[in-house]
């Protein structure tokens, strides 16, 4: 059976799944809107979590948070289910598909056969929608892909029960209850306030302070860790900044797109100009990634290079601090 | 980022036939989306990450050949895993898995334990015991 589900490509998986599921249920909500209301923007440095033998950096909030916050703020209810038994997980999925209900799934990336090899790491917080089953194959709408695709039963079970950090445990979710009309204005204000709070948090590894801490660490890496590891760590920062489809801005462009949309909904001119500023900050992140890539391309150890990009990060941190303080007052 | 500046560099995304979506501003300053075939800084970062893994695999292979490590370590690197991930896949404590990296201990492992590892790596026990099996 196949549910009449429209696939729209998105820049990022979780926003994309939420936006696509909302559109399926008759609510036109764009990807940036989901991202902004769900307070997806963040910076966090997690030196104690090692991903692929390097510390973790994240430019967005924890998996699941975006949808949860979005749902709470616009007043929809989500049903979430996790399973210990793969058979039961499959049965519940099939049941939903029979009831014409496309569902979101959290999956591991490593066994997603349609991804290029370079993207297939043991990263367990990817999201996609399953919208049907045909000849024993599941019909899959992966929001970062241009078109829909399929996975066999075995393949889907493998990605749903990937192990390691953030193991999905068959995690399945879908909205069950909607308000008559979506009230976006209050939700937008809440989303923005939350993002400002996160980015200005008085915690050394989070937000603006986190960016400054990373800048400080970058200066030390070549001496402390040696060329090879320092280069590897830099590569990690850029890879995390990029994920798929952020265009190098570490989600800053999606956030800017959200602010632009929000300025129209709230009839707030100030947000439109803040959107422009966010775009400029996104460009700075891009320049940073470009310069960082020059260092690891040449496997260079010159501390000038490291000091230079560390300074760039500090400039970004200063700009973002001013930006989020102003944004807090703008709504 | 301006729409016309959305990077269209060569990348492995392109060779596997898909483009990613980016948000960028058009001439009027409005946000819109544009597809990108890839961006060089990211391609280099991804390539480096792959080179890194290949290097780790080669080192592990050398260790197995000189009896400094068991094939489990080699297959772990080959599957892009690290100790915590492998331990969670086989459902054993990390310290136990780490002991199995020892080539002497590995030869004494029961078939039941070996099968667990073989299942995770999707190979047979024979392949697990001999890293050059079938190559």
Common-topology check for domains A13-37+77-177 and A184-330: no
Chain B contact set for A238 (CB, 8 A): 41-42, 45
Q: Class of the A184-330 domain?
A: mainly alpha
Q: Which residues pair with A150 in a beta bridge?
A: A139
Amino acid A300: pLDDT:
64
pTM for the whole thing? 0.91
Q: Which long-range contacts (C-beta less than 8 Å, at least 24 apart) are formed by A264-268? A: A265/A184, A265/A185, A265/A188, A266/A185, A266/A188, A266/A189, A266/A331, A268/A330, A268/A331
CA distance A98 to chain B (A): 31
A38-63 per-position pLDDT tens digit:
999 999 999 998 888 899 888 888 87
Question: Does any CB of chain B come closer than 8 Å to the CB of residue A300?
Answer: no
Does the distance separating the beta carbons of A239 and B35 come in below 8 Å?
Answer: no
The CATH number given to B53-129 is 1.10.260
Domain boundaries, chain A: 13-37+77-177, 184-330
CB-based contact B77:A329 (threshold 8 Å):
no
Specify the pairing of strand A103-107 against strand A77-81: unpaired
Specify the pairing of strand A77-81 against strand A149-152: unpaired
Q: What is the mean pLDDT of chain A?
A: 91
**Residue for token digits 């598909």?**
A97
Secondary element (H or E) of residue B35:
strand B31-36
Give the residue-averaged pLDDT of A198-210.
96
Amino acid A248: pLDDT:
58
Q: Which of residues 149-188 of A touch B (CB under 8 A)?
A: 163-165, 167
Q: How many Cβ atoms from other residues are within 10 Å of residue A49's Cβ? A: 11
Chain A contact set for B45 (CB, 8 A): 235-236, 238-239, 242, 293, 296
Chain A contact set for B22 (CB, 8 A): 11, 245-247, 253
Name the more confident of A208 and B131: A208
Q: Could you report the predicted ipTM of this complex, rounded to two decimals?
A: 0.88
What distances in angstroms separate CA A175 from CA A140, A142, B108, B118, one per listed residue?
A: 18, 18, 52, 39
Amino acid A235: pLDDT:
87
Per-position DSSP letters for B74-126, written without gaps between them: HHHHHTT--HHHHHHHHTS-HHHHHHTTSHHHHHT--HHHHHHHHHHHT--HH
Amino acid A244: pLDDT:
59
Mutate which: B16, B19, B38, B41, vs A, most A CBs within 10 A: B41
A88-133 per-position pLDDT tens digit:
999 999 999 999 999 999 999 999 988 888 888 888 889 999 999 9
CA distance A37 to chain B (A): 17
CA distance B135 to chain A (A): 21
A216-232 per-position pLDDT tens digit:
999 999 899 988 899 89
CATH (one of 3.90.70.10, 3.40.109.10, 3.30.360.10, 2.40.30.10) for A13-37+77-177: 3.90.70.10
Does the pLDDT at position A210 exceed 80? yes
The two three-digit tokens of residue A205, written as one number: 């590894």
pLDDT per residue as tens, chain B (135 positions): 888 888 888 776 656 667 888 899 999 999 999 888 888 888 888 888 889 899 999 999 999 999 999 999 999 999 999 999 999 999 999 999 999 999 999 999 999 999 999 999 999 999 999 988 755
Amino acid B17: pLDDT:
67
A257-306 per-position pLDDT tens digit:
999 999 999 999 999 999 999 999 999 999 998 899 888 887 666 668 89
A143-198 per-position pLDDT tens digit:
989 999 999 999 999 999 999 888 999 999 999 999 998 889 999 999 999 999 99
Question: Does any CB of chain A come closer than 8 Å to the CB of residue B27?
Answer: no
Does the distance separating the beta carbons of B23 and A32 come in below 8 Å?
Answer: yes
Amino acid A53: pLDDT:
86
Q: C-alpha angle with apex A243: A242 to A246, nearest 5 degrees?
A: 55
Does the distance separating the beta carbons of A239 and B45 come in below 8 Å?
Answer: yes
A4-30 per-position pLDDT tens digit:
999 999 988 889 999 999 999 999 999
What distances in angstroms separate CA B91 from CA A18, A177, A206, A293, B120, one per listed residue?
A: 33, 38, 33, 38, 10
Does the distance separating the beta carbons of A249 and B13 come in below 8 Å?
Answer: no
Distance CA(B50)–CA(B45), nearest Å, equals: 9
Residue from A311, A291, A296 nearest A232 by CA = A296
């Amino acid at each position: 059976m196949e549910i009449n589900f429209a696939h729209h490509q998105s820049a990022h998986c979780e926003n994309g799944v939420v936006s696509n599921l909302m559109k399926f249920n008759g609510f036109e909500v764009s990807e940036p809107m989901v991202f902004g209301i769900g307070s997806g923007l963040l910076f966090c440095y997690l030196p104690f979590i090692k991903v692929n033998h390097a510390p973790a950096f994240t430019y967005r909030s924890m998996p699941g948070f975006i949808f949860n916050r979005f749902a709470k703020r616009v007043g929809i209810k989500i049903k979430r289910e996790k399973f210990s038994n793969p058979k039961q997980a499959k049965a519940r999925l099939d049941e939903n598909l029979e009831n014409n209900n496309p569902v979101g799934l959290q999956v591991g990336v490593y066994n997603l056969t349609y991804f290029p090899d370079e993207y297939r790491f043991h990263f367990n917080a990817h999201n996609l929608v399953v919208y049907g089953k045909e000849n024993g194959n599941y019909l899959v709408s992966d929001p970062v892909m241009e078109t829909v695709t399929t996975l066999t039963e075995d393949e889907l079970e493998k990605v749903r029960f990937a192990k390691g950090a953030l193991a999905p445990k068959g995690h399945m979710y879908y909205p069950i209850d909607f308000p008559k009309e979506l009230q976006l204005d209050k939700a937008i204000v809440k989303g923005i306030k939350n993002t400002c709070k996160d980015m200005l948090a008085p915690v050394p590894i989070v937000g603006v302070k986190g960016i400054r801490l990373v800048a400080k660490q970058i200066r030390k890496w070549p001496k402390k860790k040696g060329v090879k590891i320092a280069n590897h760590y830099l590569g990690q920062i850029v890879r995390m900044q990029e994920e798929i489809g952020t265009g190098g801005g570490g989600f800053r462009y999606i956030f800017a797109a959200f602010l632009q949309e929000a300025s129209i909904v709230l009839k707030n001119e100030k947000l439109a100009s803040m959107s422009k500023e966010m775009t400029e900050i996104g460009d700075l992140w891009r320049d940073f990634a470009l310069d960082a890539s020059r260092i690891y391309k040449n496997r260079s150890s010159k501390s000038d290079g490291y000091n230079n990009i560390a300074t760039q990060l500090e400039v970004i941190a200063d700009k973002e601090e001013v930006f989020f303080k102003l944004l807090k007052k703008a709504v | 980022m301006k729409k016309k500046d959305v990077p269209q560099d060569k990348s492995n995304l392109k060779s596997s036939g898909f483009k990613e979506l980016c948000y960028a501003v058009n001439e009027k300053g409005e946000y819109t989306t544009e597809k990108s075939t890839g961006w060089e800084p990211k391609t280099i970062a991804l390539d480096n990450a792959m080179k890194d893994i290949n290097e780790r695999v080669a080192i592990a292979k050398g260790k197995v050949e000189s009896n400094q490590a068991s094939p489990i370590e080699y297959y772990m690197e080959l599957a892009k895993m690290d100790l915590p991930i492998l331990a969670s896949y086989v459902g054993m404590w990390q310290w136990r898995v780490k002991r199995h990296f020892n080539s002497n201990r590995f030869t004494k492992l029961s078939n039941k334990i070996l099968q667990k590892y073989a299942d995770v790596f999707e190979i047979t026990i024979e392949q697990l015991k001999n890293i050059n099996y079938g190559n």
